[in-house]
């Protein structure tokens, strides 16, 4: 409320109230700002004394005006013919100024008001630029340090006030009756957006703000590992089965070829033997040759007979025993056989 309006209000109420008035009854200012109070009286007065927390800071007399040596405290006269109005200004308010302000009109009345001094600290978002994948929950942390009283924290998302359920606030008292506050905002990354942390106290007309930006990236297409493992196992099993089948077939073919090769070798050997003919020691071209080889033939025949266990029947006629070229001969009661292979 400006001084003219405040003075007008005092003038309107002074007629009904024949006493000293102090306005405002409660002043809230930021540290370093100026505080203003107005003291009015509708009677004849001589001395007006201003006190801050019981200490005299300014004296005003009706005849001589302001009597003060402290440049932090000044006074302005807005008096009229019917009402005396003096305004006191406290320049560069300190935390130690907080308390009671008194206007004491000597021999008339003493009235009190309250001065509240608040402190505006700092506000800062830790990560001013953050990147998140679509659908991911992104977090922003805001720190408000050195405030009195504890600051009021709020957030905006894309210019709109964020729901109180989307962030938390913690307050920690620090030295010199100050407070530090931290707040964490959780936001689902759906599209790129700016976020702002706001901190304020009642004496602060416009909240202090710190902004950050969230960049949202498309979600990567992950390969389903379950499908990959299943396909790999299946392909591996098929390849292993194919390898086993190939090995079995190769072994079978190799064995078959080996057997066939042995058979062919034996057949070729037999054909070669038939082509060359086999020596028969029991064959002679004439009787003398037969007589010369009779002993060997007898041995062969004897071995054949003993192996087979069967006697060879006597098929030789008596008159053929001495004939030339005979195939059978009788010797010592044994039947002897000569074998001839004719090719």
Domains of the chain: 20-118 (2.60.40.10), 122-217 (2.60.40.10)
Q: Does residue 329 register a pLDDT over 80?
A: no
Structure tokens at 201: 């106290």
Q: Please provide the average confidence, as pLDDT, over all residues in the chain.
A: 80
Per-residue pLDDT tens digits for 176-222:
789 999 999 999 999 999 999 999 999 999 999 999 999 999 877 66
Compare 15 and 267 and report the one with higher pLDDT. Answer: 267
CB-count burial class (<10 Å; 0-12, 13-18, 19+) for 40: buried
Give the pTM: 0.59
Phi, psi at residue 13, to the nearest 5°? -95, -15
């Amino acid at each position: 409320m400006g001084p003219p309006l405040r003075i007008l209000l005092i003038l309107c109420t002074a007629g009904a109230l024949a006493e000293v008035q102090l306005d405002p009854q409660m002043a809230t200012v930021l540290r370093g700002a100026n505080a203003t109070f107005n003291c009015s009286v509708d009677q004849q007065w001589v001395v007006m004394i201003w006190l801050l927390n019981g200490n005299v800071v300014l004296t005003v007399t009706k005849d001589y005006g302001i009597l003060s040596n402290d440049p932090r405290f000044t006074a302005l006269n807005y008096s009229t013919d019917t009402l005396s109005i003096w305004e006191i200004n406290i320049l560069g308010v300190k935390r130690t100024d907080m308390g009671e302000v008194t206007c004491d009109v000597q021999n008339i009345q003493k009235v009190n008001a309250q001065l509240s001094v608040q402190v505006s600290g700092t506000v800062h978002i830790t990560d001013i630029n953050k990147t998140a994948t679509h659908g991911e929950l992104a977090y922003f942390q805001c720190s408000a340090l050195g405030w009195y009283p504890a600051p009021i924290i709020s957030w905006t998302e894309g210019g709109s006030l964020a729901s109180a359920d989307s962030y938390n606030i913690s307050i920690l008292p620090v030295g010199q009756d100050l407070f530090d506050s931290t707040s964490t905002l959780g936001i689902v990354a759906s599209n790129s957006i700016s976020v702002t942390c706001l901190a304020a106290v009642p004496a602060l007309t416009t909240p202090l703000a710190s902004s950050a930006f969230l960049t949202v990236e498309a979600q990567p297409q992950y390969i389903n590992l379950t499908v990959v493992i299943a396909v790999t196992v299946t392909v591996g099993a098929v390849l292993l089965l194919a390898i086993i089948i190939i090995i079995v077939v190769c072994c079978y073919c190799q064995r078959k070829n080996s057997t066939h090769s042995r058979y062919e070798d034996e057949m070729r050997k037999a054909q070669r033997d038939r082509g060359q003919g086999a020596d028969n020691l029991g064959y002679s071209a004439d009787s003398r040759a037969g007589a010369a080889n009779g002993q060997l033939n007898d041995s062969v025949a004897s071995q054949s007979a003993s192996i087979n266990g069967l006697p060879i029947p006597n098929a030789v006629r008596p008159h053929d025993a001495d004939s030339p070229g005979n195939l059978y001969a009788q010797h010592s009661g044994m039947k002897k056989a000569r074998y001839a292979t004719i090719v």
